[in-house]
Structure 1
Amino acid sequence: MVTVAPPHTWAYALRIPHDPRAARVARMTVRAALTSHGRGEVLDVVELLTSELVTNAYRHTDGPASLRLTALDDGRLRVGVWDGHPYVPAPFGGQTRGRVPDARAEGGRGLFLVERYADSWGGWSLGNDPLGRCGGKLLWFEVGGAEAGECGE
């Protein structure tokens, strides 16, 4: 079967082992994909936000993660990061938004950056499977495009 897709849509997927170099590998992958597709206008933001989500997946789980980078037909770019922990943090889970991180804290700025710089974002807990194994969660954000919506749609 032949599938026809607009030439400006594409997707890349990367399975990321639980490794301290995971965020660096994700940044390099994002940089290579966006550069090769001429999407330099969103490169810095996507690279930063992807790094934050992958870093959180590494820090808060003990298993692998997955990254999916998708160019949508309206010019938006969607990045999704899956990990094995089912908890969906704010602002992805609809909890309090607009929290400003403590300037003295060593962490806690990553999701604030997503909230601040992404056009939209969301997250889903995938719960547990019938055998009791954790299904994890998927966090995503979008940037760019003519139809970028309000934050958190």
Structure 2
Amino acid sequence: MVFGGAQVLMDLEPLVRIVRGDTILHGYTHTVLGAFLIALIAGLIGRPISLYVLKLLQIRHSNFGWSVSFSTAFVGTYSHIVFDAMMHADMRPLWPLAEMNPLLGLVSIPQIHLLCLVSAVLAGCIAVTRVAIRTKSTAD
């Protein structure tokens, strides 16, 4: 949930810019510095929100500490920058150090979509396997 929350926070700026009709959608939040600040926020609010939601929904889970919350938030924001930088010409991920986007076009958009799809299927298989193993062990 912290990873997903970090993704949502990253794209609040582009959402506002889309609504306003701006030509540049990916601004300060899609820089190394912006991702750092958003990761701090996501890590700080993500843990208590996640624990509250899991408790509210009565979902059994392992407790996770602050280091997991912050590391997950940082992985979320920086991976977001990498993927978006490969796809969006308006990104300047190294600003204010550089105006260029060295990742643009490094991998094609269809390849990125395929990677995301394969990752989602793999994650789904792992999740189903873990549930099956846990269910079998409690039944024994």
TM over 0.5: no
Q: Which has the higher strand share?
A: 1
* TM norm structure 2: 0.33
* TM norm structure 1: 0.31
Q: Which has the higher helix share?
A: 2
